[in-house]
Amino acid sequence: MKHMKTTLAGIIALTAFGANAQSYDENIDESGFYVGGNYGYLRVEGEDDFDDDKDVWQGLLGYRFNEYFALEGSIIDFGDYGNDVAGASTDGYTAALKGSFPITERLSIYGKLGQLWSETEYNVGTFSNDYDDESLFVGGGLSYAVTPNFLINAEYTVYDAELDAESAVDDIDDTNFETDLKQASLGVEYRF
């Protein structure tokens, strides 16, 4: 939470600087590429020993077709979670369709629906292995345009992951973990 407050303070400072540095032009071209990043809070929830809270990092690359629709990909690091008996580390990449709707000149809401391809490295007792998974995710958030090219986002995303260690560790019972990865993050976006 301490990192989240520091990140929020930095974003507020950039917002104040950006608002004075460049006025908003509502006639900008809405199509084109953008890059961005998110930092946030990850809640791992399931019927297993992997319940945990961690930081999550995400890098974004997208293309806006117009002010309403975009295609977005990301690389994401969910970090390490679990305990000494059973732990895991998950990272992966995503592809999503993103729909936006402007509320005001600078503020808009958006939703995402996409696919996560992930790799989870397990440590269960003295056994370790990895497992690849594909899962759907849904997310939504608010976006504020500080300038026509620089935006600040607040987002919440739920990944429907199945952390199945059965193929990784065949000798242990109850290795199929139904787990949701819930991400709340703040981010920035730069449009070219």
Domains identified in the chain, total number: 1
Tokens in use for 144? 């504020």
Q: Could you read off the pLDDT of 13-42 as tens digits, one per residue?
A: 444 444 444 444 554 558 999 999 999 988
pLDDT top residue among 135 and 124 = 135
- 86-102 and 150-164 as β-strands: parallel, antiparallel, unpaired? unpaired
pLDDT of residue 128: 79
For residue 24, give the DSSP letter. -
Q: Range of 141's domain?
A: 2-191
Instruction: Decide if 183 contacts 157 (C-beta within 8 A).
Output: yes
In 3D space, the residue among 98, 99, 137, 97 whose CA is nearest the CA of residue 115 turns out to be: 137
The CATH code of the domain that includes 55 is 2.40.160.20
- Global pTM value: 0.73
Instruction: Decide if 20 contacts 151 (C-beta within 8 A).
Output: no
